[in-house]
Amino acid sequence: MSSQTMPNQAAGAVRVHRRRKFGLSPLAVALVLPGVVLAILFKLMPLVHALWLSLLRTRGFEDPTFAGLRNYYSAFRDPVVAQAFRNAIMVFLTLPVWIFLPLIIALLLFQRTPGWKFFRAVYFLPYMIAPVVVGIMFRQILAPEGPLNALLIAIGLSPLAIEWLNGPNSALFSLTSVALWSFFGLGVLTYLSGLATVPQDIVEAARLDGAGFFRLLVSVAMPLIRPVIGYWTVLCMSSMLIWMFPLIYALTRGGPGSATMLPEYLVFTTTFEFLNRGKGAAIGMALFVFAALVSAFVVRRMYREGTGRSS
């Protein structure tokens, strides 16, 4: 073997080692590349365009002009924007219900409670209904003369027969409850998928030790499916911020006043009703940063708990 081929073989070995270390095989690149291209085209480029649009002054059909940070300054001084983000925080306070209610129901179904097959289908059915249809349906149910108030009056609870969608305090609660009803079936199915990976001998051992339902929930189910709980938490937060638009549009249109105005619906009204695309993009970027910070916090907490790190 000549002395010239030795460096070539060494260089080839280094390249192979680097390729193995970083997983950059041609097959891996071919499989990942389409996803990267789609993410750039439909995620990164619209985000960059929205960022640029937020720096422009756009009024109606006038030609846009550069405005710098004026749109952000105007958005932060707008009381409706502040109210929209306060409403988003109020919706976030219901997050424990979104997380634990589907988990409790999923554990009941996992334990094969009588009628579990029927209830498994019933709980998932609302998620299969289009959100706009759900909104139209509950607009009739929650009307002042609707079936819910008629039922409350019939059973002697007339003080509770209020204007659910027109009250300044009850409207946001009603909207959040409808969203939970429409969405939590997916959580039940997600948790059932996670519980299916729990070894049955662990569950049987806990039952033999006298563990009741809530002890089984807290000491067995939650620790073993913690990644699933974290995934569902992030999914719920994103749904609270960017998936409630059809329900708001069908139920309240952000009213009464701005009682149910959330940032995503405010972006729509600012951009398409008031034709202020620059300010709408600025509100959208603020919403993006808000959602990114909250999601990053939750994901980081999940990572720390999963790896056992304390800091």
Reported as a single tens digit per residue, the pLDDT across 116-162 is 888 888 888 899 999 999 999 999 999 999 999 999 999 998 888 99
- Whether residue 70 is predicted with pLDDT greater than 90 in this model: the reply is yes
> Average pLDDT, stretch 177-185?
93
pLDDT given for residue 119 in this prediction: 83
Average pLDDT (288-306) is 76
pLDDT digits (tens, 9 = 90+) for 204-221: 888 888 888 888 998 889
Domain residue spans of the chain: 5-53, 73-307
| pLDDT at site 6 | 45
What's the average model confidence in pLDDT over 104-117? Answer: 86
Instruction: Give the three-class secondary structure for 188.
Output: helix
Confidence of residue 306 (pLDDT cuts 50, 70, 90): low
pLDDT score for 305: 61
Query: Looking at per-residue confidence, does 49 or 307 come out higher?
Result: 49
Query: What is the distance between the alpha carbons of residues 307 and 309, in angstroms, rounded to a whole number?
Result: 6
Which superfamily does CATH assign the domain made up of 73-307 to?
MetI-like (1.10.3720.10)
Two tokens, residue 145: 């003369």
Q: Given this model, what pLDDT does residue 18 score?
A: 53
pLDDT at 311 over 50: no
User: Cα(157)–Cα(142) distance, rounded to whole angstroms?
Assistant: 15
pLDDT digits (tens, 9 = 90+) for 12-29: 554 545 555 555 678 888
Decide which of 115 and 12 is more confident.
Answer: 115
- For residue 293, what is the enclosing H or E element? helix 277-307
- The proportion of the chain whose per-residue pLDDT surpasses 70, expressed as a percent, equals 89
Q: Residue 73 in contact with residue 251, Cβ under 8 Å?
A: no
Gyration radius (Cα) of the chain, Å: 26
Global pTM exceeds 0.85: no
CA–CA distance, 220 with 268 (Å, rounded to integer): 44
Across 19-173, the runs of DSSP E, i.e. the strands, are 56-57, 65-66
Residue type, 233: T
At residue 165 the predicted structure's pLDDT band, cuts being 50, 70 and 90, is: very high
